[in-house]
Amino acid sequence: MTADEAIKYMNQITVETVGEFGVVMLQVAQSANTLIRQRVTETGKNAEGEAFAPYSEKPMLVNCSSKYMSVAVCNQLAGSKEKRKDLKWVTVNKGGRPARVFELEGGYKQFRELHGRRTDIVDFTWTGEMMKDIQVTSSDDEHRQGLARLSTLSDEQNTKLAGNTDRRGDILMLSNEEINEVSEILENWLVAKWDE
């Protein structure tokens, strides 16, 4: 290959590489999202390998009409006069109307246990809606510039993510191992591109 042919080939590969870079960055971002979701929901660990702070055992107020309270758990806690008599009751203002609620002494951890949910790790999956809502939200233009962003799609889930992040730290950060894994996608693509 002559010098002119080599330069022409390199220019062609450069143009193709720039044109396809956005697609590859999208794949990198989607892989990163999958890796983060698996680590968080399966191990309950942050990017540094530390367990997220445990579920709260601070007493919380609940009632049987709570969005996530099951009928079975409600009956277990307050299903008879005797059970209701033993509970600590409080009246709160809910939407401009008084509402009777009772104290769950073991807090959110107990609430999860009563519903058969994991408490050995913090997996952020009461309904799973927040984790499912986390998607690649960056644009194709951003991908072509080498930028990718993960975030929630809805305001409700974004509020949950922000609250959980405030309480427990950055949930969407990649670990060093995960960075290496997604970097390999980019490296393999570049090697294959230049080997053509």
Helix, strand or coil, per DSSP, at residue 55: coil
In a domain, 158, yes or no: yes
The answer to whether 55 and 107 have CB atoms below 8 angstroms apart is yes
Mean pLDDT of 134-151: 93
Q: How confident is the model at residue 21 (pLDDT cuts 50, 70, 90)?
A: confident
Last residue of a domain, one of 113, 132, 155: 113
pLDDT tens-digit readout, 92-128:
998 889 989 999 999 999 999 999 999 999 999 999 9
Amino acid at 87: L
- 131 & 40 share domain: yes
- The domain containing residue 141 runs over which residues? 19-52+122-195
Choose between 196 and 108: higher pLDDT: 108
In a domain, 148, yes or no: yes
From the list 54, 47, 30, the residue with the least C-alpha distance to 123 is 54
Q: Residue 151: is its pLDDT beyond 70?
A: yes
Q: How confident is the model at residue 190 (pLDDT cuts 50, 70, 90)?
A: confident
- 106 & 167 share domain: no
- 151 & 133 share domain: yes
- 126 & 178 share domain: yes
Q: Residue 4: is its pLDDT beyond 90?
A: no
In a domain, 25, yes or no: yes
- 102 & 188 share domain: no
pLDDT tens-digit readout, 22-62:
889 999 999 999 999 999 999 999 999 999 999 999 999 99
The span from the CA of 165 to the CA of 171, in Å, is: 6
The residue with tokens 């969005």 is: 67
In a domain, 129, yes or no: yes
pLDDT at 10: 62
In a domain, 30, yes or no: yes
pLDDT at 9: 64
The span from the CA of 43 to the CA of 46, in Å, is: 9
Number of domains in the chain: 2
The span from the CA of 144 to the CA of 160, in Å, is: 30
In a domain, 106, yes or no: yes
- 101 & 131 share domain: no
In a domain, 44, yes or no: yes
Last residue of a domain, one of 113, 135, 154: 113
Q: Residue 13: is its pLDDT beyond 80?
A: no
Strands (E), the chain: 60-62, 89-94, 97-104, 134-136, 150-152
Q: Residue 153: is its pLDDT beyond 90?
A: yes
- 183 & 99 share domain: no
Q: How confident is the model at residue 185 (pLDDT cuts 50, 70, 90)?
A: very high
pLDDT at 2: 79
- 45 & 126 share domain: yes
In a domain, 161, yes or no: yes
The span from the CA of 165 to the CA of 30, in Å, is: 21
- pTM (predicted TM-score): 0.83
- 134 & 189 share domain: yes
Mean pLDDT of 50-76: 94
Q: Residue 11: is its pLDDT beyond 90?
A: no
